[in-house]
Amino acid sequence: MMVITSPKEMNAWSQTAKLQKKRIGFVPTMGCLHRGHLSLIEVARSQGKCDTVVMSVFVNPLQFAPNEDFDKYPRQWELDKKLAEDAGVDVIFHPSSEDMYPANAKTFVEVADLSSVMCGLTRPTHFRGVTTVVAKLLNIVSPQVTVFGQKDAQQCFIIRRMVQDLMMETKIIMAPIIRENDGLAMSSRNRYLSSDERTQAVCLSQSLERAEKMINAGEKRSAVILKAMHEYIQQNPLAKVDYITVVNTETLQETAEVFNKSLIALAVYFGKTRLIDNIIL
Ligand code: AMP
C-alpha cells in the first residue's frame, strides 16, 4: 500500500492509473477506522467493479463547528494504515490541513436546502464543510466510483446532488450500515460513550426496528410512527432526542406518510455525544 500526502502526487498517481485503464474506487474517511469504514473498500471492488482502491484519511476541520469535537476527534494514524492495508487499500491519501486549505483559499461548495435540514439544523455549517472537502478530494483523486456509507445518509444524498449539479464524473455508491452485535451502528464516536450510555444507545436502532414493524403491519402515518419512536427512546433516561424524521430522499423534506424509499432518520444525544442512525424503506 502506498501512502501519499501531497495532493499533487495523489493526482499524478490517479492520472497514471487511468492511463493504465484502471478503474479507481475512492473511500473518503476521517480515519479511526472500524468495520463500517472497511466494508466500503469491498463495496468499491464488488459493486463498483474497481480494480484499485484509494482511501483518504483526513479529519476535516471545516466540517466541525467551533464548539464541536475537532480537537478531541479520535486519531490513530499508525493503526489506520495497518487496517487499510490489511483490507486491501492500494493507496491511502493523508493530506495536511495546510495542503487542503491554503491560507488564501476562498472557495466553498454548498448544496442549498438539503444542507439546512435534519442534521443541518443543529450543525448549520457542517455540510458546507463536507461538500467543500469532498469536492476537493474528488478533484484530486478523480475516481470513477466513490463509496459512502448509509450511516450518514443525509451526507450521501447531499453529495449525490453536488456531483450531479457540478457535473462531476464519479459514480456515488451508498453502502449498507455495519452494526455492532446489539444493533448499534458502528461509529468512531461510539468510544465517547460511558458504559451506561453505550447500553442505552441501542435504542436508536431498536426504535427504527419498531418503526419498520409498524410499517410492515400497515401503518403509513409519519406522525404515528414518529410518536412511537419518541416514546421508545424516552424510556432511556440518558437519551435526548435531537430529531426524528421521515423524509423524501430526493428533497429531504418531511412527508406526512411513509412510502417506498422514505428515509427515517434520527439523531440522539447521550451527554455531548450525538449519535445518528436511519433506515431507507
Ligand atoms: P467518517 O470517517 O465518519 O467520515 O466516515 C467515513 C465513511 O464511512 C462515510 O461514508 C460513512 O458514512 C461511512 N461509515 C461510517 N460508519 C459506518 C457504518 N457503521 N457502516 C457503514 N459505513 C459507515
217 CA distance to ligand 1 centroid (A)? 31
- Print the domain residue range for 100: 2-175
Residue 182 maps to a domain? no
User: What tens digit of pLDDT does each residue of 71-84 get?
Assistant: 999 999 999 999 99
> Which pLDDT belongs to residue 153?
98
pTM of the model: 0.98
Any idea what the CATH number is for the domain that residue 39 is in? 3.40.50.620
Which ligand 1 atom is at minimum distance from the Cα of 32?
2
Same domain, 146 and 194: no
Q: Is 186 in the pocket of ligand 1 (CB under 6 A)?
A: yes
Same domain, 192 and 130: no
Q: What is the pLDDT of residue 224?
A: 98
Average pLDDT for 253-262 = 96
Residue 181 covered by a domain: no
* Same-domain check for residues 90 and 223: no
Asked whether residue 35 falls in the same domain as residue 98, the answer is yes
Structure confidence at residue 171 (pLDDT): 98
How high is the pLDDT of residue 147? Answer: 99
**What is residue 151's predicted lDDT score, i.e. its pLDDT?**
98
Question: Would you say residue 221 lies in a domain?
Answer: yes
Q: What is the mean pLDDT of the chain?
A: 98
Instruction: Please state the three-class secondary structure of the chain as a single string.
Output: CEEECCHHHHHHHHHHHHHCCCCEEEEEECCCCCHHHHHHHHHHHHCCCCCEEEEEECCCHHHCCCCCCCCCCCCCHHHHHHHHHHCCCCEEECCCHHHHCCCCCCCCCCCCCCCCCCHHHHCCCHHHHHHHHHHHHHHHHCCCEEEEEHHHHHHHHHHHHHHHHCCCCCEEEEECCCECCCCCECCHHHHHCCHHHHHHCCHHHHHHHHHHHHHHCCCCEHHHHHHHHHHHHHCCCCEEEEEEEEEECCCCCECCECCCCEEEEEEEEECCEEEEEEEEC
Answer whether residue 183 is part of any domain: no
Residues 213 and 168 in one domain: no
Mean pLDDT of 188-207: 97
Q: Tell me which of 175, 203, 223 is where a domain ends.
A: 175
Cα 149 to averaged position of ligand 1 atoms, centre (Å):
5
Q: What is the pLDDT of residue 185?
A: 98
Q: Which among 26, 33, 35, 37 is the best mutation to test ligand 1's pocket, defined by most ligand atoms within 8 Å of the CB?
A: 37
Judge if 24 and 117 occupy the same domain: yes
pLDDT value of residue 39: 98
Please say which residue of 175, 207, 242 terminates a domain.
175
Catalytic residue list contains 37 = yes
Is residue 248 domain-resident?
yes
**Is the CB of 173 inside a 6 Å radius of any atom of ligand 1?**
no
- Structural domains of the chain, count: 2
Domain end, chosen from 151, 175, 199, is at 175
Same domain, 154 and 20: yes
Ligand 1 geometric centre to CA of 19 (Å): 30
Amino acid 154: pLDDT: 98
- 29 and 8 in a common domain: yes
Q: Measured in angstroms, how far is the CA atom of residue 186 from the centroid of ligand 1?
A: 8
Q: Does residue 128 sit in the same domain as residue 20?
A: yes
Provide the pLDDT confidence category of residue 115 given band limits of 50, 70 and 90.
Answer: very high
| CATH code assigned at 275 | 3.30.1300.10
Residue 99 lies in a domain: yes
**Same-domain pairing of 7 and 30:** yes
Question: pLDDT tens across 143-162, in order?
Answer: 999 999 999 999 999 999 99
Judge whether 96 lies within some domain: yes
Residue 37: CB within 6 Å of ligand 1?
Answer: yes
From 138, 147, 151, mutation site for ligand 1 pocket: most ligand atoms within 8 A of C-beta: 151
> What's residue 160's pLDDT?
98
Q: Based on the domain organization, do 171 and 258 belong to the same domain?
A: no
In a domain, 120, yes or no: yes
**31 CA closest ligand 1 atom index:** 2
Query: Is residue 43 within 6 Å of ligand 1 at its C-beta?
Result: no
Q: Does residue 188's CB lie within 6 angstroms of at least one atom of ligand 1?
A: yes
53 and 30 in a common domain: yes
Q: Quick check: CB of 48 below 6 Å from ligand 1?
A: no
Kindly report, residue by residue over 21-52, the tens digit of the pLDDT.
Answer: 999 999 999 999 999 999 999 999 999 999 99
